[in-house]
Amino acid sequence: MLTIPNERHRTPSGKYSVLYDEMANQTHLLIGGRTGSGKSTVVNGIIHSQLIRKLCSEEQFILIDPKRVELSQWKRTPHCLFYASDDLSQRVQALTLAVDIMQERFRIMEEQGIRQYNGSRIHVVIDELADLLTTQKDSVLPLIQRIGQIGRACSVSLLCCTQCPTAQILSTQLRVNFTSILGLRTRSAQDSRNIIGMKGCELLPQYGKGYFITPVSEGIVSLPMIPEEEIERIANYWSDRKNYVA
């Protein structure tokens, strides 16, 4: 029987990363902050929190990684359904795959007469939302909105990051789809308002703190730092077992 390693399921301070698990369980999560504020650290922490203890039959990922370095280690794992980098057609293909999966799941739900899909949860992770919306807005925005509007019932969620939290990128029609938001350090009070709806993120430390808003709570949180060697360890663990996982 396959056993998931959990002896290191702790932050460097020795505390279990409950926060990242909570973020992973949000319906749709938007992360915004200035360059170098720790967005990729958070995203990798969220993915790590799921792969540390869940099989690919429980949690799966569609990854869009324009910079080709932030999420590339996870493409080797059986949890990764699709990995898109800087290829423009691949990005559209990744989002189209997510929508196609949604449609198929709704068909199954209709046949079975159920209102909530009971299979694996699929996270659509976009490392840099601004890059997609400045290069392919007409192609990708309708797909992102579609996932945001109806993904919850069929267990398909969005996890989007941006280092360019301007009003043009985080428009009302886009932002309204996200049930939860993590605001990291921003360049200005206006950028903070664009992310969390109020100023304050511009006053956060550059690393380690964020303003986390969910449907039931809000406040400043401390963000655990998962070491790179731990990220690599879990990615290697699953990569080595890729051919043995159903």
Q: What pLDDT, on a 0 to 100 scale, did the predictor assign at position 2? A: 40
DSSP class of residue 32 equals: E
Distance from chain centroid for Cα 28: 8
Give the pLDDT score at 7: 43
Q: What is the pLDDT of residue 211?
A: 96
Long-range CB contacts (within 8 A, 24+) of 169-173 = 169/129, 169/130, 169/133, 169/134, 170/30, 170/32, 170/194, 170/195, 173/145
Q: CATH: 3.40.50.300, 3.40.630.30, 3.20.20.70, 2.60.120.330. Which one for 18-236?
A: 3.40.50.300
Cβ neighbours of residue 176 closer than 8 Å, sequence gap 6 or more:
none
pLDDT of the residue at 9: 46
Cα 14 to chain centroid, rounded: 24
Residue 157 has a pLDDT of 97
pLDDT of residue 241: 84
What is the number of other CB atoms lying within 10 angstroms of the CB of residue 29? 25
Q: What is the pLDDT of residue 84?
A: 97
What single DSSP character describes residue 223? P
Q: How many beta carbons lie within 10 A of that of residue 146, not counting itself? A: 17
Q: Which two tokens stand for residue 245?
A: 């996982």
Q: What is the pLDDT at residue 148?
A: 96
Residue type, 155: S
- Bridge partners for 141 per DSSP: none
Can you say whether residue 74 is alpha, beta or left, with left for phi > 0 and alpha for psi between -120 and 50 degrees? Answer: alpha
pLDDT at 3: 42
**What is the Cα–Cα distance from 50 to 235, expressed in whole angstroms?**
12
- What's the pLDDT score for residue 172? 87
Per-residue pLDDT of the chain (246 residues; tens, 9 = 90+): 344 444 444 555 445 578 999 999 999 999 999 999 999 999 999 999 999 888 889 999 999 999 888 999 999 999 999 999 989 999 999 999 999 999 999 999 999 999 999 999 999 999 999 999 999 999 999 999 999 999 999 999 999 999 999 988 998 889 899 999 999 999 999 999 999 999 999 999 998 999 999 999 999 999 988 889 999 999 999 999 876 654
**N-to-C CA span, the chain:** 12
Residue 242, pLDDT score: 76
What are the residue ranges spanned by the domains of the chain? 18-236
What does the radius of gyration of the chain's CA atoms come to, in whole angstroms? Answer: 17
Distance (Å, whole) CA 92 – CA 187: 30
